[in-house]
Chains A and B, each alone.
Chain A
Amino acid sequence: MRMRIHDSNHSGEEVPLFLDDRPLTARAGENVAAALFASGVKALRSSPRLRQARGMFCLMGSCQECLVMIDGRRALACQTLATAGLHIETIPPTSANV
């Protein structure tokens, strides 16, 4: 079953993106977090001490869980509109358990 709703408000122009160099397709008007979610990519990063998988949660720019690199900048995926050719990279885990 597809997750995208097709109606008059959402017209479906395709937007190509790259996630860690892997090509994906979003729809015009989607934010990057929602686009990845709809493509089945739910884990976006790791938590700092316990290294648990984390993904989008609040979709409002509040929880900070969807932090990724977008065209070389640290950015919240849910606050970034999907535009053609965007390069998204997941941020690898860094620090020790402190």
Chain B
Amino acid sequence: MSEFDVAVIGGGPAGTHASLAAASTGLSVALFDDDPSAGGQFDRALRCELASSKVSTFFAHSVWAVTGAYRIDAVGPQGPVHCTSRALIVASGTTERVVPFEGWTTPGVIGLAAARILLNSQGLLPGRSTLVAGCGPLLAAVAAKTLENGGKVEAIADLAGTADWVRTLPAMAARPDLLLQALKWWRTIRRAGTPRYGRHSVVRVEPASEYLRATLAPCDASGLPLNAHRTTVLADCIVVGHGFTPATEITRLLRAEHRYSRGAGGWIAVADQDGRTSRTLLYVAGDAAGIVGAAASATCAMLTGLACAFDLGAADPSRLKRRMESLRGAQRRAVRYGHAMAALMAPSAAHADSIPPGTIVCRCEDVTRAEIDAACDAGAHDMNQLKAWTRCGMGPCQGRTCGDIAGELLMRRVGAPSREAVGYFSARMPLRPVTIEALTGDFNYDDIPIPQAAPL
């Protein structure tokens, strides 16, 4: 078994920056990432820096277990691997949130982040024509990129109103480069004549011969549809996203303390400004620590890598501290911008109320809102009881798609004072579904370690 000083899970910008920072102090670092393309969709320069560093990379490896302090088990193209480390940095990113609406499970409805992956890393338009809906800065980014590449965008439906965007301007001023980028996107969108419906939500999608028909409704500040004129849009592909939820499966599996924060995007590990969690030598970096956006992710992750090195007793601690202090200013500015953007995508408790009773909430197990409400009424007052009684969260996505929504519905149905009061689905191994043969490898019957037989 290989031993490392630091293991980093998640090879996006945050995980990469944390790995490089830790390795720069002389520590041995292992970086795990499950992306099969092993190239990511970002920053080639950063990838080159990683390739020429001493970081041991395990690309296309899916980490399915973290135990002890710490043993990492993963499955890669050649089968199971495991290693141990003294410290663990979790840079697992986020899951996109989509608040269910009628017809959201129809093929051809995809996430906003999914559309970005199609455009950036797959070189594909989402559709011959596209509706872009939801909230946050990704709306304009996806719409503009689609238009730039010759696609048609039928409309943009934004939950936010103009006033919401104006409120972000002071924070945007701290990042004039990003403000300029946004203005360029909107110029592209206006030139194409794509209409923008502010304070509008998609309430239904249905097939319409080879297209999809989306119904847009005006909504209030929380995303609740109003009793007002509906607009229909025909498009080949419906792209929708309502913000991002930090991926906390690993930190919850390791029993670090967590709290619920709407501004941060949901449940996050309780951590200091350098990502130290309540558990010794366990850190969070990047959006997994709370939505801060790409720029802040990078700076914060560098600080986490250095903090980890400091905690492990790296050589020349005072020089390390000075390096960290030199990053604080950039961290503050980037985080300010990131928080403003996160506020635009923050989940509203009331938005879940818009889900009609017959609409699927748990896609894996076909559990509707009505079934969830009935279980709450029957006495399920916490997430794990809800899961046991309805199967919501028992499918292969392991609650990633439905968990946040289910928590919102449960809290409201039972009149709980907070999301903390109803909890979250217990984090379990495997962290991702993994085939039995990938876990068992090659073996003979005699290889199986048999404990003593049970008494008669």
Chain A positions within 8 Å of B, measured between CB atoms, are 1, 3-7, 9-10, 27, 29-31, 34, 37-38, 42-44, 47-50, 52-65, 67, 73-74, 79-81
Are the C-beta atoms of A53 and B106 separated by less than 8 Å?
yes
With A54-B105, A63-B400 as known contacts, state yes or no: A31 contacts B110, CB within 8 Å: no
What does the 1/0 interface line of B355-380 toward A look like (CB < 8 Å)? 00000100111100000000000000
Identify A42's interface contact among B34, B108, B400, B435, CB under 8 A: B108
A62 pairs with B95, CB closer than 8 A: yes
Q: Give every chain A residue within 8 A of B118 (Cβ-Cβ).
A: 34, 37, 59
B293 interface residue per 8 A CB criterion: no
Q: Does B401 contact A58, Cβ atoms closer than 8 Å?
A: yes
* B102 interface contact, C-beta 8 A: no
Contact at B105–A63, with CB atoms within 8 Å? Answer: no
A63 partner residues in chain B, CB cutoff 8 A: 363, 397, 400-401
> Given that A29-B37, A59-B117, A79-B34 are known contacts, is A65 also in contact with B123, CB under 8 Å in the complex?
no
The reply to whether the CB of B50 lies closer than 8 angstroms to some CB of chain A is no
Interface residue from A38, A64, A65 paired with B124 (Cβ < 8 Å)? A38
Q: In the assembled complex, which residues on chain A have CB atoms less than 8 Å from the CB atom of B363?
A: 47, 54, 57, 63, 65
In the docked arrangement, what's the CA distance between A58 and B152, Å? 21
Query: A4-B124, A37-B124, A58-B96 given as contacts; is B397 within 8 A of A64 (CB)?
Result: yes
- Tell me which of B110, B400, B401, B433 contacts A56 (CB under 8 A): B110
Grouping DSSP codes into helix (H, G, I), strand (E, B) and loop, the B interface class, with mixed when no group exceeds half, is loop
State A44–B110 Cα separation when bound (angstroms). 14
CA distance A61 to B96 in the complex (A): 12
Interface residue SS majority, chain A: loop
The answer on a CB contact under 8 Å between A29 and B107 is no
Q: Contacts A5-B125, A7-B123 known; A49 to B114 CB distance under 8 Å?
A: no
List B contacts of A42 (CB < 8 A). 107-108
> Taking beta carbons and an 8 Å cutoff, which residues of B are in contact with A?
34, 36-37, 95-96, 105-111, 113-114, 117-119, 122-125, 127-128, 149-152, 360, 363-366, 395-397, 400-401, 432-433, 435
Q: How far is the CA of A1 from the CA of B147 in the complex (A)?
A: 13
Q: Say whether, besides A3-B128, A27-B123, A79 and B110 are in contact (CB < 8 Å).
A: no
B365 touches A10 (CB 8 A): no
Residues of A contacting B111 in the complex (Cβ-Cβ under 8 angstroms): 57-59
Residues of A within 8 A of B34 (CB): 61, 79
B122 touching A34 by the CB < 8 A rule?
Answer: yes
Q: List, in ascending order, chain A residues with CB within 8 A of B124's CB.
A: 3-5, 30, 34, 37-38
Closest 8 CB pairs of A and B: A10-B123, A55-B107, A59-B114, A42-B107, A49-B366, A64-B396, A34-B122, A5-B123
A50 touches B366 (CB 8 A): yes
Given contacts A30-B122, A54-B105, A60-B96, 10 further A-B contacts (CB under 8 A): A4-B125, A7-B149, A38-B124, A47-B366, A48-B366, A50-B360, A59-B113, A63-B400, A63-B401, A80-B36
Interface CB pairs A-B, < 8 A, 26: A3-B125, A4-B124, A5-B123, A10-B123, A34-B124, A42-B108, A47-B366, A49-B366, A52-B360, A54-B107, A55-B108, A56-B107, A57-B110, A57-B111, A58-B95, A59-B111, A59-B117, A59-B118, A60-B114, A61-B432, A62-B96, A62-B400, A62-B401, A63-B397, A64-B396, A79-B34
Q: Do residues B435 and A73 form an inter-chain contact, with CB atoms below 8 A?
A: yes
Check A4/B107 contact, CB under 8 A, given A63-B400, A79-B36. no
| Residues of chain A contacted by B397 (CB below 8 angstroms) | 62-64
Complex Cα distance A47/B151, Å?
31
Contacts of B96 in A (CB 8 A): 58, 60, 62
A20 CB → nearest B CB, Å: 16
In the bound complex, residues from chain B placing their C-beta under 8 Å from that of A10 are: 123
The complex places the Cα of A64 from the Cα of B435 at a distance, in Å, of 14
Rounded to whole Å, the gap between the CB of A58 and the closest CB of chain B is 5
State in angstroms the CA–CA spacing of A34 and B117 once bound together.
Answer: 9
Q: In the assembly, what is the distance between CA of A55 and CA of B110, in Å?
A: 9
CA distance A13 to B127 in the complex (A): 21
Q: How far apart are the CA atoms of A42 and B119 in the complex, in Å?
A: 17
Question: A38-B124, A79-B34, A79-B36 known; A56 and B396 CB under 8 Å?
Answer: no
